[in-house]
Amino acid sequence: MSVDGVTKVSSGRGLSMRSSIGIDATHGRVPSHGVPVVGRQNGLPILWSNGMPRPAEATTGRRFQLVLKRALDVTLTVSALLFLLPLLIIVAMCIRITSDGPVLFRQVREGYRGQRFVAYKFRTMWMDMADPSGVSQTLQGDSRVTPLGRFLRRTSIDELPQLLNVLKGDMSLVGPRPHVPGMRAAKRDYRELVPYYDARLEMLPGLTGWAQANGLRGPTDDAQKAKARIDHDIAYVQNFSLWLDAKILVKTAVREFITGTGH
């Protein structure tokens, strides 16, 4: 039986997934009597109960995959840093030549279960023009961004220093993107906009995630799109697997380097 675009789950018949949730997935519309429902975000199911996403089950298989995920993060990140070292050096030199200020921009982000860490990026703005809190999102054509910075942002090269965060264990290659504390969308605090926002923090943040692989990235003042990003993050948390990580990395690479639709 379908209720407002989501499907009830029969406890004796497994999960029925006959309908999908669009961009406004179940917000405020899930029945409150405790009957689980299933929605989808670009093919990934989300299990809801009483209007909140259900926590992912801590199975032995999931724990084992998380251990392998960390091992792969370290191995792939070291390989990527060695391969990208010439590019990183060239970008650093170009930043120093074209504008005053440090090469790297440091900013506090929220990580696993709300733990805060310092994330690294190549500096893309004129010196002293960036908002260290990150609450004010960078808009299209923002005058604070340098000409080189526009290129680095468009190609996502500015994010490459976050490979250091992956090595440190603050981040993973794949996971929900790390937000700054008090992140805003549609002129509201994300936690006001999406009451279950913290459910996305049950995995290490990543360089890319299910939302970004499906084109949901960059600043937005659209509440529905902002909510959809969180739902995509939660879909990833609930459905995590190494196979899904590989799929996300491939989809992101296609968007960034082949179709040019990363931003």
List the pLDDT tens digit at each of the 263 positions of the chain.
443 334 444 444 333 333 333 333 444 344 444 556 677 888 899 999 888 999 998 999 999 999 999 999 999 999 999 999 999 999 999 999 999 999 999 999 999 999 999 999 999 999 877 766 666 666 666 788 999 999 999 888 999 999 999 999 999 999 999 999 999 888 889 999 999 999 999 999 999 999 999 988 877 788 999 999 999 999 999 999 999 999 999 999 888 776 554 44
Regarding whether 108 and 177 lie in a shared domain, the answer is: yes
Provide φ and ψ at 42, rounded to 5°: 50, 45
Nearest CA-CA partner of 176 in 138, 214, 139, 149? 214
The pTM of the full predicted model, rounded to 2 decimals, is: 0.82
Helix, strand, coil tally for the chain in percent (to 5) = 40, 15, 40
Regarding whether 141 and 18 lie in a shared domain, the answer is: no
pLDDT at position 47: 93
pLDDT at position 51: 86
Q: Which two tokens stand for residue 214?
A: 């499906």
Provide φ and ψ at 191, rounded to 5°: -70, -25
- Asked if the structure places residue 37 within a domain, the reply is yes
- Give the contacts of 20 (CB within 8 A, at least 6 positions apart): 5, 39, 40
- CA 135 vs CA 11, 31, 43, 120, 187: distances in Å: 43, 34, 31, 17, 10
Regarding whether 92 and 25 lie in a shared domain, the answer is: no
pLDDT at position 137: 64
HSE (CB half, 13 Å, CA atoms) of 12?
A: 0
Regarding whether 21 and 50 lie in a shared domain, the answer is: yes
What's the total number of domains in the chain?
A: 2
In the beta sheet, which residues pair with residue 119?
Answer: 107
Regarding whether 174 and 158 lie in a shared domain, the answer is: yes
pLDDT at position 50: 87
pLDDT at position 131: 67
What is the extent of the structural domain holding 1? 1-54
In the beta sheet, which residues pair with residue 208?
Answer: 174
Regarding whether 131 and 35 lie in a shared domain, the answer is: no
pLDDT at position 39: 75
- What type of residue sits at position 25? A
Regarding whether 194 and 151 lie in a shared domain, the answer is: yes
Q: Which two tokens stand for residue 81?
A: 């840093």
Regarding whether 66 and 41 lie in a shared domain, the answer is: no
pLDDT at position 140: 67
pLDDT at position 174: 99
